Structures are given as structure tokens and as C-alpha cells.
Amino acid sequence: MPRFYPNAVTLACGEADLAEQRTAIEILAQSNLPGRWAVKDSFNTLDLSRRGFDVLFEASWIRSLMPIDGPSSDIVWQREAEGKALLPFGDPNFALFTGRRGFAIVAGGMLYRSEGVVGLTNVVAEAADSVAVWRTLSLLAAKTFPRLPLVGYESGAELQAALDAGFEIGDPLRVWVKSSE
């Protein structure tokens, strides 16, 4: 998996799904994955503490159905078409936006369209710009992938900035982490 991404993500939360997820996690645990690895519990329904995992962080899902104009900033935005990172720049469902002041990148975020929504991830902003950055990314998502709800998850100050920018808070989630023995 790419650095900072979980090795497994839950996509359903029924009892049969939970049993299958626990089995898959046990298989991964026995596969001798090197270093630390993680599971994103999208529904906050797994308790992996007895399997040697620790909570890396807790967050909440967020969504925005309508982009909201708000305070603008002097940040100039552009969609990146290429980069050094192994990202799917050629995929029409993917967009990486960076915000610059002069020549310095000071903000950014990634969008990915899938299953009737647009996922917003890896939002980067200085605290003073955070609300404006969330609002701008919301507008860029609406222009890039029209008529689709925007979703993501955040915690702490980033969650508060998203809420201040007009996002709605949703259900909790948890990311578990385990170090190899």
C-alpha cells in the first residue's frame, strides 16, 4: 500500500460482513506484512484491540451537498496533470488540486469520483486559510464532477474547519494500526 494509506478498508457493516472482515484481517495478520499496517473501520464497528491493534485516530465522516461560496483568499488554484508521486493523473475520476501563493504550494486536496460521490482526501491548509481552502475545494469538486455529493472524513481542527466551511458531520469511523512482531 502507498505510505499513509490503510492496508484494509471496511465497506459494509452487517454481521456477516463483520465476520468476513475479521477473517480477512486475521489472514493479513498471518501474512507477515512488514512494519506498521492499518485497517480503516469505516463504520466504527470493529474492535481490533484483542488482535493487537491500537487506535491510530478516530474521525467523523463529512459531506457537502452544495458548495458554499465564502471568504476568498489570495491562493491561486490549479489542477495538477502530472507529478513525481505515483498518483492516477491519467484517470478521469481523479483530480489533484494545489493552491499557491507566489511559487510556494500552501494548500491542496485530492478528489476521486466513485459510486455516485466524490471523495475528498489529503486536504492541506494552514490554519488561517483552512475554512477558505475547504470551501474552495468544495467549489472545485462541483466544477470538476458536477451534481455529486462530496464526502470525506476528518478529525480535530480539520473537522472543525470543514464544518465551518459548510460541511455536515456524519457517523464516526476509526483507523486501527498494528506493528509487526
Looking at the DSSP bridge assignments, the partners of residue 62 are 152, 169
- Same structural domain, 127 and 69: yes
Instruction: Evaluate whether residue 153 is within a structural domain.
Output: yes
Is the pLDDT confidence value at 142 over 70? yes
Give the integer Cα–Cα distance in Å for 68 and 59: 23
- Same structural domain, 47 and 71: no
Give the integer Cα–Cα distance in Å for 115 and 148: 10
Task: Give the DSSP H/E element, type plus range, for residue 105.
Answer: strand 104-114
Instruction: Evaluate whether residue 125 is within a structural domain.
Output: yes
- Same structural domain, 54 and 130: no
Instruction: Evaluate whether residue 2 is within a structural domain.
Output: no
Instruction: Evaluate whether residue 54 is within a structural domain.
Output: yes
Domain that holds residue 125: 64-168
pLDDT bucket at 178, cuts 50 / 70 / 90:
confident
**pLDDT 10s digits, 105-138:** 999 999 999 989 999 999 999 999 999 999 999 9
- For the beta sheet containing 168-179, the strands, ordered from the edge strand earlier in sequence to the opposite edge, are 8-9, 36-41, 168-179, 54-64, 150-154, 117-125, 104-114, 94-101, 76-80
- Same structural domain, 96 and 146: yes
- Same structural domain, 156 and 79: yes
Instruction: Evaluate whether residue 38 is within a structural domain.
Output: yes
Angle, alpha carbons 47-157-126 (nearest 5°): 130
**Average pLDDT, integer, range 138-163:** 93
- Same structural domain, 98 and 161: yes
- Secondary structure of 61-104 in HEC code, one letter for each residue: EEEECCCCCCCCCCCEEEEECCCCCCCCCCCCCEEEEEEEECCE
**pLDDT 10s digits, 63-103:** 987 777 766 789 999 999 988 778 889 999 999 999 999 99
| Residue 14: predicted pLDDT | 86
Give the integer Cα–Cα distance in Å for 56 and 81: 32
User: In this structure, what DSSP letter does residue 152 have?
Assistant: E
Is the pLDDT confidence value at 181 over 60? no
- Same structural domain, 79 and 159: yes
- Same structural domain, 56 and 68: no
| Residue 146: predicted pLDDT | 94
Give the integer Cα–Cα distance in Å for 5 and 144: 24
- Same structural domain, 70 and 127: yes
Instruction: Evaluate whether residue 121 is within a structural domain.
Output: yes
| Residue 115: predicted pLDDT | 86
Q: How many domains does the chain have?
A: 2
- Same structural domain, 91 and 124: yes
Instruction: Evaluate whether residue 3 is within a structural domain.
Output: no
- Same structural domain, 99 and 82: yes
CATH of the domain at 102: 3.40.630.30
Give the integer Cα–Cα distance in Å for 97 and 105: 10
For residue 157, what is its C-alpha cell?
A: 481542527
- Same structural domain, 155 and 73: yes
Give the integer Cα–Cα distance in Å for 122 and 109: 5
